Structure 1
Amino acid sequence: MGFKIEDINKPVSYDKKSKEDKTPLLERELNWFGNSFSNKKKEDFYTELSVLLKAGITLKEALKLIEEGQKKESQRKIFVDLGEDLLSGLSFSEAVGNKKEFTDYEYHSIKIGEESGTLEAITKELGLFYAKKNEQRRNLINALTYPIIILVTAILVVVFMLRMVVPMFQDIFKQNQVELPWITRFIVSLSDMIKDHGWWITAAVIGFIAVRRTLLGNSIFKRRWDYFQLRIPYIGSFLKAVYLSQFTRAISLLSASKVPILNSIELAGKMIDFHPLNDALKTVSDKIVQGESLSDCLRGNPMFSNKMISMVKVAEETNQTEFMFERLNHQYSIEVDQRSKLLSTLMEPMIILVVGICVGVILVAMYLPMFKLSTVLGG
């Protein structure tokens, strides 16, 4: 497998940015609501492609068959363009590189497959990579769906009480000129704020959700957001496990293709969109260039656990990098599944407890002046 990866840190020959700039504005806005070539589509694409290549079908014929199976015109166009690029003399990796729907990681992985003669194995591994990524996302969504429904319902209940119930008590207190305790004044001020600025608050929340993707596209905001998430109790360790699972899967794939460890680290960094891990991998790459072993490079970095460092050290001594990273990926995948289920289990009672406290505080705040009112009326 005498292939080489040259100038891996330099920008690839294609210019994705210039292609995006030529995209009509309306089409760009529609893309904010979802990628037409999602990770689920990529899982299906690479899995089908590996099966067809294994069956002896040529790459051009395989792309044609996959194109015919697409229902949406936007997805069919992707494969039409890939086929036309191949007919014009471009390699498959160059054709993939010309499409903004594909990442640098996919481009380099396919390039490795072409140069090493293992394209069928690479596409199979890419299919498995996206299958695992989609499975993690599904598990997380399943774990959070019920707590989110409870949370939204709870917010609506509290807003209803502040918007409808509290003003009724407020009118009674004003008519009888009852002196209000501080907790009641606080709840009444919240009620007034909801009444006067409720629509503005709702519009601000909807606006933030709408521009969230744009904000995360800003590298400075994304970096600060990633590091902030990492400091959140439990959420930070959960996210770390998710991205380490992706990292170990990528290294396992690249090790199976006999890619040198330095190039594997750099390619994995192109795939992962999480700044704390990207920065850690950049530091690891710099140390490897200086001649240090991978285990020594990982040691001392908070992103990597002692267990991972120990297993990497064993892999280096026994020359079993692919197997060891496969085991690490399996362990991190199990950890992600367990943490997502635990997150769901913990969120439900916590949300119910918080809602109970909020409703209780509102009721207490409204009933405290009622005792004074009864005294005044009784007098």
Structure 2
Amino acid sequence: MPSIDISRYEKKKTSKKIEKSSKSSLGELLNKDISFGSTELPDKKKEYLYLELSSLLKAGIDLKSSFELITADQQKEKDKELFAGIQKAVLAGSTFSQALKDTQKFSLYEVYSLQIGEETGKLIEVLSDLAKYYQSKIKQRRKIVGALTYPIIVLSTSLGAVFFMLKFVVPMFGDVFKRFGGKLPWITEKIIGISQALQDNFVIGLLLILSVAVFIFSSRKTEQFRKIFSLSVLKIPVIGNLVQKIYLARFCNSMRLLINAKLPLLRAIALIRQMIRYYPIDSSLATIESDIMNGKSLHQSLQQFSVYPAKMVQLVKVGEETNQLDYFFGIISEQYVEEVEYKTTTLSSAMEPLIIIFLGLIVGVILVSMYLPLFQMSNSF
């Protein structure tokens, strides 16, 4: 195992402030965790905590000293206070898992995994698994964001250009054509009509968009909205399957971690219900939990729901028969993660030229429709 540079954690006696880096890369800015109304610690900070803590404990450093080193490495005051509070609670006699729970910054999924690790003497192993889980989650999110960033920028810029032409350029041409009079080409009349409709209904359209955005934001957590939205997304070609695989990968990875931590199957399912807020999986887990309590096997219960592919169900069946559920859930998760990464990259590569061609045609049609009457007028002289 590579050595740990403890010197970077040490506090300077001459100053209580920790030196901040003068520059931050664009990549760090784009990958920064953004949360709206969430009280939990961001995934990047959770990954850091579990990775550093498992490394320090493996090196033989006790929990108190490990937290002192981790706290000293924090640049933000609120992070220092959080980790110092956890350390204080542990020194006062609380278990590490209970100290995390009391902060309300960590999910029950993590709390109970760590509690099992403490009870079985496998705390370091559970910490390592949690670090890997968040590393995988962050890596997957970065790849998806990276693959879709360029197409979204191109689409947004192109739509902005089309909007500018319809809102400002076309009306100027329209005023010129009215002065000259005469019959305009069919396509020119249609483009001017669209531009005029945009002028007349711009404020109403803007208010409508804002109203829809407010409605979605306010009702996004209701069960009815989640059901309609998730089922609608699933029906979208390519995108629906991609979203399904993303959440299945998270479900399988969570099951692997909890089962590997020796958590009972029913307890693991109950915790995952609180963690994965994807309606098709979330709603199915209540039934699955009830089925298992009534004597059904996990794979028999899973196969009732279309969100779980037949191949996944068969692998779960093998895992149950061989008593290696955590291993097979790990395999399924890795397969889905690789599939999502491949499909995202392929989708991004296909979208870029299609967006450019489609919006290029729209801009071309607008320009031709505006210049066509000018060509007709020049030929008439």
* Partners of 2:51 and 2:251 in 1: CA distance: 20
1:76 to 77, 80, 85: 80
* Partners of 1:368 and 1:129 in 2: CA distance: 60
Q: Does 294-303 or 209-218 show the bigger shift?
A: 209-218
* Partners of 1:246 and 1:123 in 2: CA distance: 18
* Partners of 2:128 and 2:371 in 1: CA distance: 66
1:115 is matched with which residue? 119
Corresponding residue SS for 2:237? coil
2:286 is matched with which residue? 282
- Residue 84 of structure 1 and its aligned partner are, at CA, apart by 2.6
- Give matches, 1:1-379, under 5 Å: 32=36, 37-180=41-184, 183-195=187-199, 216-217=220-221, 220-370=224-374, 373=377, 377-378=380-381
* Partners of 1:164 and 1:323 in 2: CA distance: 61
2:324 is aligned with what amino acid?
A: Q
Deviations 1:327-375 (A, max 9, x none): 1111111111111101201211221132023223323433454566557
Corresponding residue SS for 2:60? coil
- Residue 154 of structure 1 and its aligned partner are, at CA, apart by 0.6
* Partners of 1:52 and 1:42 in 2: CA distance: 15
Corresponding residue SS for 2:103? coil
Deviations 1:223-258 (A, max 9, x none): 433333222221111111111111111111122222
Report 1 or 2 for greater relative contact order, CA contacts < 8 Å, sequence distance ≥ 6: 1
Contact 1:178 1:373 (C-alpha < 8 Å) held by counterparts: no
* Partners of 1:103 and 1:194 in 2: CA distance: 47
Query: How many residues are paired up?
Result: 348
Deviations 1:88-145 (A, max 9, x none): 4332222211223212211222222222222111111000000000000110011011
TM-score (norm 2): 0.82
Identity of aligned residues (%): 38
1:27 is matched with which residue? none
2:27 is matched with which residue? none
Deviations 1:28-55 (A, max 9, x none): xx96398783211111111111112222
Corresponding residue SS for 1:71? coil
Q: 1:185 to 1:76 in 2, by over 3 A?
A: farther
- Residue 158 of structure 1 and its aligned partner are, at CA, apart by 0.7
* Partners of 2:137 and 2:108 in 1: CA distance: 17
Please list every run of 5 or more consecutive structure 2 residues that lacks an aligned counterpart in the other structure: 1-33
* Partners of 1:151 and 1:189 in 2: CA distance: 24
